[in-house]
Amino acid sequence: MAADTSTTASGGAAAPLIEIQGLTKRFAGFTAVDNVSFNVARGEVLGFLGPNGAGKSTTMRMLAGFMTPTAGTARICGHDVQTDSLAARRSMGFLPEGAPTYPEMTVLAFLRFTARIRGYSGSEMDDRVGHAIGLTTLGGVRLQPIETLSKGFKRRVGLAQALLHDPPVLVLDEPTDGLDPNQKHEVRTLIARMAPEKAIVISTHILEEVEAVCTRAIIIARGRVVADATPAELAGRDPAGGLDAVFRAITAQPARAA
Amino acid sequence: MRNTLIVARRELGGYFATPVAVVFIVIFLALQGALTFNLGNFFARDQADLMPFFNFVPWVFLLLVPAITMRLWAEERRLGTIELLLTLPIAQWQAVVGKFLAAWAFCAIALALTFPFVITVNYLGSPDNGVIAAGYLGALLVAGAFLSVGAALSAATKNQVIAFVLAVSVCFVFAVASYPVVTDFLSRNAPELAEVARRLSVAERFQSFTRGVIALRDLIFFASFIGFWLFLNTVIVEHRKAD
């Protein structure tokens, strides 16, 4: 029942923990995600970049099993997110967009709730919750109702919930949004520290964050992958302007062509 | 089952962490008291039973139960927590049943707090407490039936006002299905449906509980009624969760 960090159902240790093939999501009238394919291996931190509405959150929601793909498949630790959804969800920690939490609950009660759902109880649950609170430095507010916390603390509660069961796969939708520079630095340090053991996908608007923590960057625009390289390679395409200029050049192109 | 109870426990805690619980319970008790003693002629009837009390229960629930259920799924959508809840490793039916059980337990608490009526009637006379117990069981089943309708409709719309109005309307139809206004109309126009309507009437089933009759077919009716709406709820959540 508890999250199993050694789950590698298909293949050996070298098999990618996240496998996405031809993932497509069509809504009435438009295609939000169009035939997206990529793998993420253990030790990789993938920065998922793109303008607003490019399909980042939709892709992450399909990975987390919240949205059903129109076509294509996604696997977490070898478990198909549609046909073996519960096993896939057990192997992953997910921070949804906006870090939603139950506002009337205290930080401790909320984390205990998610720990129980993840199959922990008794002293093991307390250890897990305590550890997650320590990692996200929430100790000082653990008995406060979440609605009384600042945006940065709320974000970290969402993060604590995703880390609690030490999952092999982390999918974090804008984990540093709303944090002050110190908190951003802490979260990046935390991600970098966990990186060797896990496959991590983070979406972000902040390009310096990609250069700081990501080993690889995928740029998505209008639902399609338009670049997949290391941050250094991407930045090297425009030595003068850096990653910022490259991002704007790549994501603006389809608009001009249309 | 374990996950269902974890969800139910969190939900029930949520009622008492907000003013919802206090407001609901106070209004429920005030309404029941006023209706029983004034409209119901509790004293003037000079009979040691809780008929006047139980007669009003379905109508008070008709108004108040949709007020609980309207926020059940709409609130999760508004807060975005539906995305959190349904990406945790639980099956959707477990979330649906957990939410329903919490709301049902909450109604049971509200009903239990009407115990002063039982004490009063026992103090004034010697009622048949078996009949009263059957009446309470029936009232709890009516609450469960209305809750299951309201919860499913709450999953179908983002708008809490729409969820409330729809739930009151649909529950009303099941409450009055056995009343002459419906059955007379049906027997004139579609006689075969009149009997169906009578069998689907929540109020008519409840009547036999208040007379002290606990019939197996009534228990099966309520179980399948609630089961049907919870199933519908799960299907709606599955299809509309990401809308």
Are A182 and A67 found together in one domain? yes
Q: Last residue of some domain: A166, A183, A218?
A: A166
pLDDT value, residue A13: 52
Is residue A8 domain-shared with residue A58, that is, in the same domain?
A: yes
Residues A4 and A85 reside in one and the same domain: yes
3-state secondary structure of A202: strand
| CA dihedral sign, ordered B182, B187, B188, B192 | positive
**Higher-scoring residue by pLDDT: A19, B41:** A19
What is the Cα–Cα distance from A217 to A227, expressed in whole angstroms? 8
* pLDDT tier for residue A14 given thresholds of 50, 70 and 90: low
Cβ pair B241, B82 in contact under 8 A: yes
Under DSSP, is residue B76 helix (H, G, I), strand (E, B) or coil? helix
Percent of chain A with pLDDT over 70: 92
Q: What is the pLDDT of residues B191-234, one digit of tens each?
A: 777 778 878 888 889 989 999 999 999 999 999 999 999 999 99
Chain A residues 153-182 within an 8 A CB cutoff of chain B: 158, 161
Domain final position from A122, A143, A166: A166
pLDDT digits (tens, 9 = 90+) for A24-36: 999 888 899 999 9
Location of structure tokens 């192997």: A91
Residue A51's CB is within 10 A of a number of other CB atoms, namely 17
pLDDT tens digits along A126-185: 999 999 999 998 999 999 999 999 988 999 999 999 999 999 999 999 998 878 888 889
The token duo for A109 is: 């009660």
> How many Å lie between the alpha carbon of A50 and the closest alpha carbon of chain B?
21
pLDDT exceeds cutoff 60 at A3? no
- A68, A100, A105 ranked by CB distance to B80: nearest: A100
Pairing of strands A45-49, A71-76: unpaired
Q: Same structural domain for residues A192 and A162?
A: no
Q: Are residues A192 and A118 in the same domain?
A: no
What angle do helix axes B51-69 and B160-176 make, rounded to 10 degrees? 150
Q: Are residues A71 and A183 in the same domain?
A: yes
Neighboring chain B residues of A145 at a CB cutoff of 8 Å: 17
Indicate the residue of A100, A118, A145 with minimum beta-carbon distance to B84: A100
Q: pLDDT above 90 covers what percent of chain A?
A: 65
Assign A175 to helix, strand or coil.
coil
Confirm if A57 and A203 have CB atoms less than 8 A apart.
yes
Q: Confidence band (pLDDT; 50, 70, 90) for A220?
A: very high
Residue of A nearest to B77 (CA): A100
B18, B87, B90: residue with CB nearest A104: B18
Q: What is the pLDDT of residues A32-62, one digit of tens each?
A: 999 999 999 999 999 999 888 888 999 999 9
The pLDDT tens digits of the residues spanning A95-128 come to 999 999 999 999 999 999 999 999 999 999 999 9
Q: What pLDDT shows up at residue A134?
A: 93
Nearest-Cα residue of chain B relative to residue A109: B10
Task: Please tell me the predicted confidence (pLDDT) of residue B180.
Answer: 76
What H or E segment, with its residue span, contains residue A179?
A: none
Any B CB within 8 A of A120 CB = no
Provide mean pLDDT across the span B141-159: 94
* Domain enclosing residue A159, as ranges: 99-166
A 10 A CB-CB count for A199 gives 25
**Pair A110, A85 in one domain:** no
pTM here? 0.90
Q: A138 with A87, same domain?
A: no
Same domain, A257 and A214: yes
Query: What pLDDT, on a 0 to 100 scale, did the predictor assign at position A253?
Result: 59
Is residue A162 domain-shared with residue A181, that is, in the same domain?
A: no
CATH number, domain with residue A215: 3.40.50.300
Best-predicted range by mean pLDDT among A202-206, B78-82, B98-102? B98-102
Q: Which backbone phi and psi does B220 adopt, to 5 degrees?
A: -65, -40
**Angle of the B115-124 helix axis to the B129-156 helix axis, nearest 10:** 160
DSSP B38: I
Which of A200, A128, A205, A209 has its CA nearest to residue A161? A128
pLDDT tens figures, B177-187: 877 777 777 77
At B3, the pLDDT band (50, 70, 90 cuts) reads: very high
Partner A contacted by B189 (CB < 8 A):
no
Query: Helices (H), strands (E): how many in chain B?
Result: 13, 0
Q: How many domains does chain A have?
A: 2
**Do the Cβ atoms of A170 and A179 come closer than 8 Å?**
no
The pLDDT score that the predictor gives to residue A5 is 44
Whether residues A15 and A65 share a domain: the answer is yes
Assess whether A113 and A221 both reside in one domain.
no
Instruction: Give the DSSP letter string of A69-114.
Output: -SEEEEEETTEETTTTHHHHHHTEEEE-TT----TTSBHHHHHHHH
A216 part of contact set with chain B, CB < 8 Å: no
Mean pLDDT of the residues in chain B: 90
Task: Supply the pLDDT for residue A144.
Answer: 95
